[in-house]
A and B are shown apart, each in its own frame.
Chain A
Amino acid sequence: QKEVEQDPGPLSVPEGAIVSLNCTYSNSAFQYFMWYRQYSRKGPELLMYTYSSGNKEDGRFTAQVDKSSKYISLFIRDSQPSDSATYLCVPGGNSGYSTLTFGKGTMLLVSP
């Protein structure tokens, strides 16, 4: 079983739509759950991270974690064409030594 699984997409939505991006992971030792956004040929950019199960909101973005089912979601409200990117769900540990495990991410395309 892969450590991190995401639907690769592309997910195509019209501007203004609510987007739901989902991710599952297998390692119950993961404690932090990060969402990175990556534009084409650019470095991953941290969007937000959460520690515990539940919701965390930041502007148009809401991250949801369910540790019991090892399921993570990112919701984007009022999606914009500038949100078009690949979204990477990245679980991590609580030490600088522990490496981050990336999946391939989900490509999102928001059309005007």
Chain B
Amino acid sequence: EPEVTQTPSHQVTQMGQEVILRCVPISNHLYFYWYRQILGQKVEFLVSFYNNEISEKSEIFDDQFSVERPDGSNFTLKIRSTKLEDSAMYFCASLRSSGANVLTFGAGSRLTVL
């Protein structure tokens, strides 16, 4: 069964460092998303991406965050200068087409900021 692949599974970084989280969405999917989940809390929406541009973003997704689809397969989330409160699980998700927004999620990348 097709799946969304995320790397790295766990990254530890120092506060202020830049981090790039990578995702390979399902190949024929057109909509891409990043969500995050702080330990013990609910899954929160960060950003959605369609047709090579951001279609929606949340208040969490400030200027420190950016997304990119550098080629036909990868979808990345960059955090320019990490803060302690960025420590969380980051989930990439994708959707084939408009209609029911039933997303397929990856296993997540755990980010630990020290």
Q: Which residues of A does B touch, CB under 8 Å?
A: 31-32, 34, 36, 41-46, 49, 51, 88, 92-105
B93 to chain A, nearest CB (A): 8
Chain B residue total in the interface (Cβ 8 A): 32
Question: Which of these, B56, B89, B102, contacts A34 with CB under 8 Å?
Answer: B102
Q: How far is the CA of A83 from the CA of B44 in the complex (A)?
A: 24
Q: Which residue of A lies closest to B50 (CB)?
A: A96
Cross-chain contact B102 with A97 (CB below 8 angstroms): no
Query: Contacts A46-B102, A97-B55; is A102 near B48 (CB within 8 Å)?
Result: no
Cross-chain contact A42 with B101 (CB below 8 angstroms): no
Cross-chain contact A44 with B50 (CB below 8 angstroms): no
Q: Chain A residues with Cβ under 8 A from B75's Cβ?
A: none
Cross-chain contact A100 with B108 (CB below 8 angstroms): no
Cross-chain contact B89 with A41 (CB below 8 angstroms): yes
B2 to chain A, nearest CB (A): 13
Q: Which residue of B lies closest to A45 (CB)?
A: B105
B63 to chain A, nearest CB (A): 20
Question: Which 7 A-B pairs give the minimum distances between C-beta atoms?
Answer: A96-B31, A43-B105, A102-B43, A99-B45, A32-B100, A96-B98, A104-B42
Cross-chain contact B97 with A42 (CB below 8 angstroms): no
Within 8 A of A (CB), among B1-31: 4, 6, 30-31
Q: How far is the CA of A24 from the CA of B107 in the complex (A)?
A: 27
Q: Flag whether B95 is at the interface (Cβ < 8 A).
A: yes
Q: Flag whether B99 is at the interface (Cβ < 8 A).
A: yes
Cross-chain contact B100 with A94 (CB below 8 angstroms): yes
